[in-house]
Amino acid sequence: MRKIPVSEPYLQGNELQYVTDCIKTNWISSIGTYVTKFEKMFAEFCGTKYALATCNGTVSLHLALEAMGVKAGDEVIVPDLTFVATANVVTYVKAKPVFVDIDPITWTIDTKAMEKKITSRTKAVIPVHLYGHPANMDEIISICRKHKIKIIEDAAEAHGALYKGRRVGGLSDFGSFSFYGNKIITTGEGGMLVTNSKKLFLEAQILRNHGMSTKRKYWHPRIGYNYRMTNLQAAIGVAQMEHIDKVIKRKCEIADLYNKLLHNIPGITLPAQESWAKNVYWMYSILIDKKYGMSAQNLQKKLADNNIETRPFFFPLHKMPSYETKEKFPITDRIAKQGINLPSSPLLKDEEIEYIVKVIKNVGDKR
C-alpha cells in the first residue's frame, strides 16, 4: 500500500494544457489573460465584485491590512489558533496582533472573548475559517460595526465554505485566500483577495504593483510591493476553478465517511458543522482525549508506523517565541494539544479511509 499523504494537489484537469499555452505564447509573467480570467472566475465563485490575484496567501493578507491603512500603534485581533501568517502580517505593518481564545466547537474565534479585547486602538479583526469551518460571521460583523472596526476573513483554508448559505470571503471588507500546494485548490504558490469595495480593491491593486499610478507609468505616489501572480500560476488556477466544485464535493464525501466510521469511538471528537455552516473540511480533523487511552502525539506515531501521514494542529500563537505572553488561552491550549489532521486528499480512496479508521480503532483497543 502507498504511504497515505495528508494532502496532495488535484491536477487532473486542463492544468498542463493551459500552462503549455502560456509557454507557447510567451505570456509567462504577470501580464496575461489567465490572470484576469482567474480573478473573474474567483470573484464569481465568491459572489464578490472584485478579486485580486497575488503571489501567495500571506501577502494578500498583508495587502488587505495596508489597503485599510492599518499602521504602527494600531491593534489587530486574531484568533490564538491559526497558521502563523495571520499574526505575522499584522507585525509587517508594525501593528500589534492581539490574540483571542477560540470557540470549543468550531475552533474559530470566540466572539465574546473578541469583544472584550477591543480597545480604542483596535483597527481590524482577522477571523479565520479554520480547517474549512466558517467563523461565526454575523456576530463578528455586528460587534465590529458597533465599534467601527474592519474585518478581513482569512479564508486560506475554506474556499467554498458556506456561512448561512453564502460563500466565505465575500462576507466582510476583505476575504483572503491561499493557493499553496496543500490548499483546496492550488497554483503552486498563490493567493487572492476578494472584496465588494471598489475603494479597497483599487488601493490593494496599486499596492500590489509597487504603488505605481495607474494613470502615469513609473510614477509611484507611495511605497508598494511586487505581490503579483504570474500568468503561469493563474493558468493552473483557471484549470483548478473548472473542477473546484468536484474537489469540494469529494472533501465532503471523505468527511462523511470518516464521520460514519469514527463515531462512537471513546475519546475521539469529530469535527463540527454548525447548523448555520457548511464545512468544506480542508483538513479532516479530530480531537483525541484521555478516554482514548493515548495522546494525539502517540497516535500520530502509530499511524506513521502504519504508513499514514498526519499533521498536528497549529501551536497556539501565544506560545511562539516572537509572541509569547503570560495571558491564558485554555481552549486553544487544549485543542491544539488534542488535534490531529487526518489524510484529506481528494484523491483518497474509500478503502484507504477504511484502513485508516481500522488502524485508529486497533491502536485504541490495544492501548
Ligand X SMILES: *Cc1c(COP(=O)(O)O)cnc(C)c1O
Q: Which residues bind ligand X (CB under 6 A)?
A: 56-58, 82-83, 85-86, 128, 154, 156-157, 178, 180, 191
Burial of 139 from C-beta contacts in 10 A (0-12 / 13-18 / 19+): middle
Nearest distance, CB of residue 53 and ligand X, angstroms:
12
Cα gap 334→235, rounded to integer Å: 42
Cα gap 178→83, rounded to integer Å: 12
**To which H or E segment does residue 97 belong?**
strand 96-100
Nearest Cα neighbor of 311 from 107, 80, 6 is 6
When the beta carbons of 27 and 180 are compared against ligand X, the nearer one is 180
When the beta carbons of 7 and 363 are compared against ligand X, the nearer one is 7
When the beta carbons of 19 and 61 are compared against ligand X, the nearer one is 61
Nearest distance, CB of residue 192 and ligand X, angstroms:
10
The C-alpha cell 496567501 sits at 57
When the beta carbons of 232 and 353 are compared against ligand X, the nearer one is 232
When the beta carbons of 127 and 364 are compared against ligand X, the nearer one is 127
Q: Are 263 and 337 in contact (CB under 8 A)?
A: no
Nearest distance, CB of residue 95 and ligand X, angstroms:
17
Cα gap 237→160, rounded to integer Å: 15
Nearest distance, CB of residue 125 and ligand X, angstroms:
14
Nearest distance, CB of residue 195 and ligand X, angstroms:
17
| Count of all residues that appear for the chain in the document | 367
HSE-up (13 A, CA, CB side) for residue 218: 0
When the beta carbons of 244 and 268 are compared against ligand X, the nearer one is 244
Whole-number Cα distances in Å, 268 to 131, 251, 357, 360:
17, 20, 12, 10
The C-alpha cell 469529494 sits at 250
Nearest distance, CB of residue 279 and ligand X, angstroms:
15
Give the distance between the most distant pair of CA atoms in the chain.
Answer: 71
Nearest distance, CB of residue 168 and ligand X, angstroms:
12
Phi-psi region of 281 (alpha: psi -120 to 50; beta: other; left: phi over 0): left
Nearest distance, CB of residue 44 and ligand X, angstroms:
21
When the beta carbons of 206 and 229 are compared against ligand X, the nearer one is 229
Nearest distance, CB of residue 90 and ligand X, angstroms:
12
Nearest distance, CB of residue 145 and ligand X, angstroms:
24
When the beta carbons of 113 and 184 are compared against ligand X, the nearer one is 184
Of all residues in the shown chain, the one whose CB is closest to ligand X is 57
First to last CA, the chain: 25
Cα gap 314→132, rounded to integer Å: 14
Is the C-alpha dihedral spanning 349, 353, 354, 358 positive or negative? Answer: positive
When the beta carbons of 89 and 353 are compared against ligand X, the nearer one is 89
Cell reading at 70: 492599518
Chain-centroid distance of CA 353 in Å reads 24
When the beta carbons of 86 and 332 are compared against ligand X, the nearer one is 86
Chain-centroid distance of CA 202 in Å reads 24
